[in-house]
Structure 1
Amino acid sequence: MIRTRFAPSPTGYLHIGGARTALFSWAFARHHAGQFILRIEDTDVARSTPEAVQAIIDGMNWLGLTHDEGPFYQMQRMDRYKEVIKKMLASGTAYYCYTTPEELDRMRDEQRSQGLKPRYDGTWRPEAGKTLPPAPSGVQPVVRFKNPTEGVVGWDDLVKGRIEIANSELDDLIIARQDGTPTYNFCVVVDDWDMRITHVIRGDDHVNNTPRQINILKALDAEVPLYAHLSMILGDDGQKLSKRHGAVSVMQYHEDGYLPEAVLNYLARLGWSHGDDEIFSMREFCGWFDLDHITPSAAQFNTEKLNWLNAHYIKQADNARLADLVKPRLEARGVTVAQSPSLEAIISLYKERITNLNELADAAEVFYIDLTPTPEILAQHLTPESLPALRDFVAGIAEVSWEAPAINALIKHCIGAHGLKMPKLAMPLRVLLTGQAQTPSVDALITLFPRELVLKRLAVAQTI
């Protein structure tokens, strides 16, 4: 059984890079009819917060990346970690180290001054025939893993290929602090072991942790999972992804009016491909996804491409669903959505023209508020040339059949009678009805409004 995991640290929000890691881990498990586990690595007590945990879970839920087991919390597994450390101490694969932090700092400073790589010097490491110093009184020891000193530790990374590190390059990792709390790298190992994780899919910022974790797993006589390290995501400008590029909370994309399927589709193409396919469902993605087509080079975030995908999915979305998503956005602005005009009808008319839900809310808002176009836009479009035709239209609209063809015929009659082109009447109508010079077809626009509201908004033409 394939078992993957997503294991974020709740020291901040779920960002776009973490969401891609979660997506790939989830899709790999789904592709192989396996299981996807959610684990919260909250051992950094000083920085982990309940709000950050909730932000991660909210982001996963919004994206629809459902987990089969969990969420598991490392802080609730402390007894298990301490039990394993106790067994390692008894077996000789771990040992107590009484070197103080101050002594470590002096040791590293001296090594740097000699041009050496700073590392623990092994003072308290037990070896055959070695006599250890007496344990100093009043010093609480840490526990270190007794890392092999010879040979190499290597793995066939499913993205990056073969990676090998000489054991001589790795010093003895602290696996429990002075207060007895286990460290990150050790907790990860025990969790992956206990949870029977078969494939660890994570960012390549963890590559340096992997040889240490493999050595600890081997010391525990545990099965070593397969590793796939995903390359970083760069911003539009090729620089490291930052907040200005889109490295914000996944839920910010929700706030900004993106649909989750658009974000998922976009993330799926960040470093992975299936031929030339650009638009696909998550069902198709899970059917296609494997690790073979993940590129080892960095992916580049492209906001324009994400916007294009989002516009596509909005065009395809059911109007009732879009109305359910837009209505709370309007209400958050203090706008009450009336029964008439129909929000679904407004969405149907505008959704071909916008790229996100907030733009859709902007378009819909003018139908439900007391609208006062700015003097500047009125002066620009209600010209002496257009006003006579506009007044004729206002007179005719009171009686015309309330459907687009009849309204279109009235517009054409008015411009024909005054020798004008369509924009000379259509633009003033758009401005008076919506306050905007750019709208969908003006006859279709007018039919969305109740007749009384159209007459009210066009009445200003009679006073100029």
Structure 2
Amino acid sequence: MKPIVRFAPSPTGFLHVGGARTAIFNWLIARKLHGKFLLRIEDTDRQRSTEESIRQILEGLNWLGLNWDDDIVFQSARNDRHKEVVEDLLANDHAYRCFCTPEELESKRLYAEQHKINKRYDGTCRKLSREQISEFLERKMPFSVRFKIEEQKTEFTDLIHGRHQTDLTDMDDFIIQRSDGTPVYQMAVVVDDHDMGVNLVLRGDDHLSNTPKQILLYKALGWSIPQFGHLPLILGKDKTRLSKRHGATSVQEFRNNGILPEALFNFLCLLGWNPGQEQEKMSREEIIDLFEVNRINHTPAVFDEQKLAWLNSRYMVEMPFDQLLFHAEKWCKDNQYSLRPDEEERFMFYLKIIQVRSKTLTDLYDFLKIYFDSPQIYDEKGVQKYFKKEGVSELLKKLRGTLSSLDDLHFDAIDKLDGLIRQFAAEHNLAAAKVIHPLRLALTGRTESPGIFELMHILHKDKVISRIDSAVDYINNL
């Protein structure tokens, strides 16, 4: 039987990397075994669910390349169906109406606590006669609906953790429908998974305690029980659950930080899954081919942001040039930068140089700013080390004079620029570095950049001289 899996996020915030990993693993199962990957938005919490969160979740899944099959199911649109199934459970004596008020339930809880007895619901309304129920309904007394637990235990084989058994003797007859007529999570999930044909549920460990209740519902309704698998948590480096205090935790944040979708996809696949080989950078097709549920670890995975940065840098360096150009051109368009025809060849050369230096798209964009924008601020350490040295202003003025006397063609040859700067330094009895470092700071505002001679060629005469002039003005005002 081909697997039908689903990803069912609640739209109460951004797509967390833990949720993204769950979606990826489900997607891999479906693509590996030619099944279906379905998407359900669990938006029954109307107060916390937002359209913006739905948009962010869908955008995040699309950005990661997780295409889903069939139409999106919105849980909130299925309330009538949930109620219908609750009525079936009531009609078949698998559930009962509970007329206990919140105050009465709290009183029962306190009594149990004081007398050190089991705190489970005492079944008061389970014992009501038909006449009593009819009377309460006639009086329009509010009620919730509880599932009637008849079994002593549940057992199932978890795809990741193996055999799992739960003792039900201390479990409440749990509520499946609130007093306002809305279903609780357990009820809605079981109905929706059944109706969508889901036969394999792979989700986080935090849902493990829900599974016994859901199995009871499946049995009572006479429906086929899907396979269950529960993914261990993702931890921060301090081995606590990954949260905002560890840094970025949402797909959108990593996207904003310049991480590539293929790098984050690859990285999240390796969080808790062992491909059975040492190679870590893998294409989507290779991962699909290697993926097996039985290779998912049963212990939590640690989110190593340094490893993600390393993996992303590999993807950046090996990115096909046409893809790199696409990112650069989009950034230029978004920021209203344009090239003159005579700049295009040098710009392409610059892209090839900065590609190997860019660990993220953010790095790439920062390097692009060097090309288009004169420095507005200068690196503070660089200012202290190079601009505040005695005679630097005069040195840059003299260099400006030398460069302005050259024709434009001189800037087309990197080796000529190299020779000129070194000759200029020698004529002033200086090591070449004494000229190169303040010149780099003047041209870029930074102490590190692509090679200075390549940069002079790329920026060309007018930009080089203009930036030296600005730096001299800045130094003179220190």
* Same fold per superposition (TM over 0.5): yes
Instruction: Report the counterpart of residue 277 of structure 1 in structure 2.
Output: 279
1 CA distance for matches of 2:241 and 2:247?
Answer: 11
Secondary structure, counterpart of 2:273 in structure 1? coil
Does the 8 Å CA contact 2:374/2:467 hold for their aligned counterparts? no
Q: CA deviation at 1:337?
A: 4.0
For residues 19-47 of structure 1, what are the alpha-carbon distances to aligned partners after superposition, in whole Å with 9 as ceiling and x for unaligned?
Answer: 11111111111111111000011111221
Secondary structure, counterpart of 1:144 in structure 2? strand
2 CA distance for matches of 1:5 and 1:100?
Answer: 37
Question: Which of 290, 293, 298 is the equivalent residue of 2:292?
Answer: 290
1:418–1:392 Cα change, 3 Å? farther
More displaced, 216-225 or 387-396?
387-396
1:175–1:329 Cα change, 3 Å? same
1:10 aligns with 2:11: yes
Question: Which of 375, 386, 403 is the equivalent residue of 1:371?
Answer: 375
Secondary structure, counterpart of 1:13 in structure 2? coil
2 CA distance for matches of 1:139 and 1:375?
Answer: 72
1:160 aligns with 2:170: no
Q: CA deviation at 1:299?
A: 0.8
Secondary structure, counterpart of 1:124 in structure 2? helix
Question: Which of 423, 426, 443 is the equivalent residue of 2:436?
Answer: 426
1:53–1:374 Cα change, 3 Å? closer
2 CA distance for matches of 1:460 and 1:58?
Answer: 43
Does the 8 Å CA contact 1:329/1:361 hold for their aligned counterparts? yes
Question: Which of 143, 151, 162 is the equivalent residue of 1:149?
Answer: 151
Instruction: Report the counterpart of residue 170 of structure 2 in structure 1.
Output: 169
Give matches, 1:70-109, under 5 Å: 70-109=71-110
Q: CA deviation at 1:319?
A: 3.7
For residues 402-439 of structure 1, what are the alpha-carbon distances to aligned partners after superposition, in whole Å with 9 as ceiling and x for unaligned?
Answer: 12223223233334444543322221221221121211
Does the 8 Å CA contact 2:6/2:201 hold for their aligned counterparts? yes
2 CA distance for matches of 1:343 and 1:67?
Answer: 39
Does the 8 Å CA contact 2:403/2:461 hold for their aligned counterparts? no
Question: Which of 379, 386, 405 is the equivalent residue of 1:381?
Answer: 386
Does the 8 Å CA contact 1:391/1:461 hold for their aligned counterparts? no
2 CA distance for matches of 1:60 and 1:307?
Answer: 21
1:407 aligns with 2:408: no
Aligned length: 459
2 CA distance for matches of 1:329 and 1:235?
Answer: 32
Secondary structure, counterpart of 1:112 in structure 2? helix
The residue type paired with residue 351 of structure 1 is Q
1:355 aligns with 2:390: no
2 CA distance for matches of 1:369 and 1:452?
Answer: 13
2 CA distance for matches of 1:55 and 1:312?
Answer: 27
Instruction: Report the counterpart of residue 451 of structure 1 in structure 2.
Output: 461
1 CA distance for matches of 2:378 and 2:7?
Answer: 52
2 CA distance for matches of 1:70 and 1:169?
Answer: 40
2 CA distance for matches of 1:353 and 1:410?
Answer: 26
Does the 8 Å CA contact 2:236/2:246 hold for their aligned counterparts? yes
Q: CA deviation at 1:391?
A: 5.4
Instruction: Report the counterpart of residue 264 of structure 1 in structure 2.
Output: 265
2 CA distance for matches of 1:438 and 1:326?
Answer: 21
2 CA distance for matches of 1:326 and 1:410?
Answer: 31
Q: CA deviation at 1:260?
A: 0.7
The residue type paired with residue 186 of structure 1 is M
2 CA distance for matches of 1:210 and 1:35?
Answer: 22
2 CA distance for matches of 1:133 and 1:300?
Answer: 58
More displaced, 141-150 or 386-395?
386-395
Instruction: Report the counterpart of residue 182 of structure 1 in structure 2.
Output: 183
Question: Which of 306, 309, 327 is the equivalent residue of 1:307?
Answer: 309
For residues 363-392 of structure 1, what are the alpha-carbon distances to aligned partners after superposition, in whole Å with 9 as ceiling and x for unaligned?
Answer: 211221243564964674355489288457
Give the fraction of aligned pairs with identical amino acids, expressed as a percent.
Answer: 37
1 CA distance for matches of 2:247 and 2:329?
Answer: 26
1:190–1:308 Cα change, 3 Å? same
Does the 8 Å CA contact 1:199/1:227 hold for their aligned counterparts? yes
More displaced, 401-410 or 390-399?
390-399
Q: CA deviation at 1:285?
A: 1.0
For residues 85-134 of structure 1, what are the alpha-carbon distances to aligned partners after superposition, in whole Å with 9 as ceiling and x for unaligned?
Answer: 222221111222212222111111212222334221112225xxx85782
Q: Which structure shows the higher helix fraction? A: 2
1 CA distance for matches of 2:170 and 2:194?
Answer: 25
Instruction: Report the counterpart of residue 134 of structure 1 in structure 2.
Output: 132
Does the 8 Å CA contact 2:400/2:465 hold for their aligned counterparts? no
2 CA distance for matches of 1:234 and 1:441?
Answer: 40
2 CA distance for matches of 1:239 and 1:462?
Answer: 52
The residue type paired with residue 141 of structure 2 is V
Does the 8 Å CA contact 2:11/2:53 hold for their aligned counterparts? yes
Q: TM-score, normalised by structure 2?
A: 0.88
For residues 148-188 of structure 1, what are the alpha-carbon distances to aligned partners after superposition, in whole Å with 9 as ceiling and x for unaligned?
Answer: 233x2011111111110022232212111112211111010
Q: TM-score, normalised by structure 1?
A: 0.91
1:290–1:375 Cα change, 3 Å? closer
Instruction: Report the counterpart of residue 238 of structure 2 in structure 1.
Output: 237
Secondary structure, counterpart of 2:163 in structure 1? strand
1 CA distance for matches of 2:376 and 2:244?
Answer: 37
Instruction: Report the counterpart of residue 316 of structure 1 in structure 2.
Output: 318
Q: CA deviation at 1:143?
A: 1.5
2 CA distance for matches of 1:305 and 1:161?
Answer: 30
Does the 8 Å CA contact 1:60/1:66 hold for their aligned counterparts? yes
1:346 aligns with 2:346: no
More displaced, 243-252 or 391-400?
391-400
1:234–1:177 Cα change, 3 Å? same
Q: CA deviation at 1:293?
A: 1.2
The residue type paired with residue 317 of structure 2 is K
Q: CA deviation at 1:255?
A: 1.1
The residue type paired with residue 368 of structure 1 is F
1:441–1:113 Cα change, 3 Å? same
Q: Which runs of 5+ in 2 are unaligned?
A: none
